[in-house]
Chain A
Amino acid sequence: MVGVMIEYRIHGRGGQGSVAAAYLLAATAFHAGQMCQAFPAFGAERRGAPVTAFVRTDEAPIRLRAQVRTPHFLIVQDGTLLQDPSIVAGLRPGGGMVVNTTRPGDEVAAEFGCRALTIPATELAEEVIGRPIPNTALLAAFLSVTGLFEIASLSVALRDRFSGTTLERNLALVEKVAATIRPDAWKEPADA
């Protein structure tokens, strides 16, 4: 997908670090030598409310400011958001979604008719970071399955943003997730 603009949409709930995930993904692309753009679609700013954030990456500078309507990829930070079928609205054919849920990936792939990867990111974050913030684990899973940017670029982005114990634990979480997810480990909708 080198040379084309890639668009991403991140769904989460207030307090789960969805905007931070968008910024981290964009910064990861930047550290991998790409141009990038990340911004939130803020609604009611309260914990638990659905939050959407958008990312674009490209070789060329990004001038477009519109919200992402036809993403190549979705990152879903909260499995309960799958109750809304419109979550995959505009997802491009051949696109994929990485979801924080304990549900099997093939089940989600079949339900939404698209490639899916599921990981229990909240549980992993609680175990390694000590807090239920799923964003770093999901990003590590996303980079591993898509191979879009090196995990090392995510580590640089994390170092820019965090320090001390928080940084160390997030880096450990990234390493743990990246070690378990093979490139192209998507569950295809046809698997169901």
Chain B
Amino acid sequence: MLEAIEGSQAIARAVAMCRPDVVAAYPITPQTHIVEALSRLVAEGEMHTEFVSVESEFSAASVVLGAAATGARAYTATASQGVLLMAEVLFNISGMRVPLVMTVANRAVSAPLSIWNDHSDSMAVRDCGWIQLHCADNQEAVDTTIQAFRISQETELPVMVCMDGFVLTHTLEPIEMPDQTDIDGWLPPLEFDRRLDPSDPKSLGTLVSPDFFAEVRHSHHAAMIRALDVIETVDDDWHAMTGRRGGGLVEVAGDPEAKIGILAMGSTFGTLETGMEHAGAQAGRARLIKLRAFRPFPAAALRAACAGLEHLIVIDRAISPGLGGVVGTEVAAVLAGAPDAPRIHNHALGLGGRDIPETIYADLMTAVADPDGPAFSVFDADLTKLDPEDR
């Protein structure tokens, strides 16, 4: 049923529909509304789960790791500093290859302190071995959350569902909320063969000598690559039931014949779409590429999405100081071998919650026409605010 509902409330209800056995979380802005709503659903008897209130994100991650290792369906959510405090456990969760789902309400990372949205938090744990999916709107976030439980149990890999903090979590908009009965039929019970079981003792995450460590990492990488197919087939299966797609690996909109493409992850995409509609003929039309699966990185799908482009603007919502943009660098790497690979124009923007206006589309299209434009910039930084030596 279509409802006008805040993103966080919708996520909590989507999680509840997946009937997790264990939820553990520590509140942090802008994730708080999600776990508050889950806590309320439990208190009101509408959700039956072991809700564990913990004293930190490290504990939240540890609780869901332990729960998932016993074969329980487990869920947590966090943001920003919470992601970083979890970081050690996130590697353990994926290294032990236990299925669970976490929402990241994307937020900048200190210092300086910012409660506002960018992708610094999930980008900081880029290599933690989790599947990482980015949502462009709250409908995608709801659909992706439910899909994540299935992707996770089919791959035995943890899934991080990233949604822009405030921009999505605190936005009320119409969302098609699935029916519980549909989800019950669509999401089979979790059966985790390697679960910890006192009647069949085994160990997870033990010391591995150099004789086997490389093989463990190889198999983790291979499992992530295999997950590319799972992400697509789960989205197809979701489409078959709901008529909606969650975004697959990569989605393309705008003008398929355009020679200029703009690639973005997350909620920036809708602003680009609107900006293009309103920009008029002078700015021209671009091919808009929405990257949903950041890990595993969909190299083949990206090559197909970018075929025929002469210029590709890649938007990063975080910065790797001393390098530039991570998404831009990675996209450039997978396109490097392609014939007629487009020139990459990598721009970080919207850092620390800086508002991204719809005029960003026309501004990016103007910048791309400059043959002397930089390969990377913090696009919306006002350098006049800085001392000359910092510009």
Contact = CB atoms under 8 A, between A and B. Distances in A.
Interface of A: 19, 22-23, 26-27, 30-31, 35-40, 42, 45, 61-67, 69, 157
B70 interface: no
Contacts of B167: 39, 65
Nearest to B267: A65
A36 B271 contact: no
Nearest to B359: A66
Contacts of B356: 65-66
A62 B173 contact: yes
Given A27-B172, A38-B172, A69 B357 contact: yes
A23 B115 contact: no
Contacts of B173: 26, 35-38, 62
B120 interface: no
B355 A67 contact: yes
Interface string B253-274: 0000000000000011011011
B92 interface: no
A63 B274 contact: yes
A31 B2 CA distance: 11
B301 interface: no
A36 B268 contact: no
B277 to A, nearest CB: 8
A14 B66 CA distance: 40
A65 B174 contact: no
Given A35-B174, A42-B170, A65-B171, 13 more contacts: A23-B6, A26-B173, A37-B172, A38-B172, A38-B173, A39-B166, A42-B115, A61-B174, A64-B274, A65-B267, A65-B271, A66-B355, A67-B355
Contact of A66 (B164, B174, B358): B358
B4 A26 contact: yes
Given A27-B4, A65-B271, A66-B357, A40 B170 contact: yes
A30 B174 contact: yes
A40 B4 contact: no
Given A23-B6, A27-B4, A42-B115, A65 B270 contact: yes
A39 B274 contact: no
Interface in B169-184: 170-174
Contacts of A38: 171-173
Given A26-B172, A42-B170, A36 B115 contact: no
A74 B75 CA distance: 40
Contacts of B174: 30, 35-36, 61
A30 B4 contact: yes
Residue of B171, B172, B267, B268 with most partner-chain A CB within 10 A: B172
Contacts of A30: 4, 174
A62 B6 CA distance: 15
Contacts of B270: 63-65
Residue of A39, A40, A42 with most partner-chain B CB within 10 A: A39
Contacts of A31: 4
Contacts of A22: 172
Contacts of A64: 270-271, 274-275, 358
B29 to A, nearest CB: 8
Nearest to A157: B4
Contacts of B355: 66-67
A23 B274 CA distance: 22
Contacts of B166: 39-40, 42
B358 A39 contact: no
Contact of A63 (B4, B170, B271): B271
18 contacts: A19-B170, A26-B4, A26-B172, A30-B174, A31-B4, A37-B171, A37-B172, A38-B172, A39-B170, A39-B172, A63-B270, A63-B271, A64-B271, A64-B274, A65-B164, A65-B167, A65-B267, A69-B357
Nearest to B7: A39
B359 to A, nearest CB: 9
A100 to B, nearest CB: 22
Contacts of B171: 37-39, 65
A30 B175 CA distance: 11
B78 to A, nearest CB: 18
A39 B270 CA distance: 15
B357 A36 contact: no
A121 to B, nearest CB: 22
A90 B270 CA distance: 22
